[in-house]
Amino acid sequence: MITCRLTPEAAHSIGSDHTLDEVWEGRLVRVIGVKHYSGVGDVRFVEVESVEDPEITRVALESLVDPDFTGGRGARDYLDKLREGDG
């Protein structure tokens, strides 16, 4: 669990007539702010400046697939070459 601290402005944008359960349940949001880490690199808390509803555009999977992405190489060969800096 990550503790989230809202600035007064962010809390005001959510409004006082809502519970946090209502605000977060099932929502995808973009959070702008500062992440604070523990000594071992885990996120301890986030100081939130603003909360936004991202604009989501559905796209067909076919529009994302590039059959020539690997230049005809198999996945293993492509990744090996990429790791060697020859991708």
pLDDT tens track, the chain, 87 positions: 566 667 788 777 777 766 666 666 777 778 888 889 988 988 888 888 887 878 888 999 889 888 888 888 998 999 998 998 875
What does the chain come to in residues? 87
**48-67 as b/e: b if 16+ CB within 10 A:** beebeeeeeeeeeeeeeeee
The predicted model scores a pTM of 0.42
| 8 Å CB contact between 34 and 16 | no
